[in-house]
Amino acid sequence: MPENYNHLHFKSVGSTNDLCRDECKKQLKPILITADKQTAGRGRNQKRWESPSGNISFSYGFFCKKPHNALSLLAGLKTTIAVDKIFSKGVGLKWPNDLIYKSKKVGGI
């Protein structure tokens, strides 16, 4: 993660992704949005994503001048490696963007 980024933390939000998208439009610095609880999270195909208190809910966004076709895949691979390194729990990546642990989705990119 770059040294120069903004971090906003909330007790409860609708969606960290929605806030992240809105903040990315306002500033040029990368932004990290974290929340203790997320009440209107969404997964792939707009499926509801439950995020009660005690979970890790966050979104990271940045402005990309030049689109990168493999960015989502690269983000998934790097996130999987980082989570597995921190927690040593055998987290995997299911195409195209799901973090999997013990055959269950635990996160999304």
How does pLDDT run across 1-20, given as a tens digit for each residue?
667 889 999 999 999 999 99
Q: Find the angle CA(16)-CA(12)-CA(62) to the nearest 5 degrees.
A: 20
Number of domains in the chain: 2
- The Cβ-side half-sphere exposure at 1, using a 13 Å CA radius, reads 14
Whether 58 and 97 share a structural domain: no
Whether 59 and 39 share a structural domain: yes
Whether 46 and 80 share a structural domain: no
pTM, 2 dp: 0.76
Whether 8 and 51 share a structural domain: yes
Q: In this structure, what is the dihedral angle of CA atoms 38, 42, 47, 50, given to the nearest 10 degrees?
A: -20
Whether 54 and 92 share a structural domain: no
Note the pLDDT of residue 95.
79
Give residue-wise pLDDT tens across range 42-57. 877 777 877 878 888 8
Whether 8 and 58 share a structural domain: yes
Domain region containing 20: 1-63
Whether 73 and 98 share a structural domain: yes
Whether 16 and 41 share a structural domain: yes
How far is the CA of 91 from the CAs of 7, 10, 52, 56, 84, in angstroms?
26, 27, 21, 15, 6
Averaged pLDDT, 52-63? 84
Note the pLDDT of residue 90.
85
Whether 85 and 37 share a structural domain: no
Give residue-wise pLDDT tens across range 71-106. 888 888 888 888 888 888 888 888 777 888 899 888
Note the pLDDT of residue 13.
93
Show the tokens assigned to 61: 């966004």
What is the Cα–Cα distance from 26 to 55, expressed in whole angstroms? 27
Is residue 67 pLDDT above 80, yes or no? Answer: no
Show the tokens assigned to 17: 């992704």
